[in-house]
Amino acid sequence: MPRTLPRLPVWLIGLGALCVLFGLALTAGIGTGWHPLLASDGAGIVFIVSGIALAGSAAFPLVFARLSADDREPRQ
C-alpha cells in the first residue's frame, strides 16, 4: 500500500459520507421546508444511494494505487 493516500478517494469518501448524512436527515423529515423537491418521499433515498455510490467509486483509485505500489516493490 502506498505511504500516502491519493486525494481523490479521500474526497469521494468524504462527499459520500456527507451525502449519506444528508439523506438520513431528509429521511427523518428534516429539511421539508427548504425546497419542495427535498420534501418528497424519495429524496432521502436518492441521497443515501448517491453517497454509497461515491464511496464505492473511491475504491477504484485506491486499488490502482495499491497495484502500482506493488509493481514498484520487488517480490521476494
pLDDT for position 75:
63
Enumerate residues 6+ apart whose C-beta is below 8 A from 50. Answer: 16, 19, 23
pLDDT for position 76:
64
pLDDT for position 61:
82
Q: How do the domains of the chain map onto residue ranges?
A: 7-72
What pTM did the predictor assign?
A: 0.76
Nearest of 5, 10, 16, 7 to residue 54 by alpha carbon: 16
Of 76 and 9, the structure prediction assigns the larger pLDDT to: 9
pLDDT for position 55:
92
**pLDDT tens digits, residue range 36-76?**
888 888 999 999 999 999 999 988 888 887 888 777 666 66
Q: Tell me the three cell numbers of residue 21.
A: 448524512
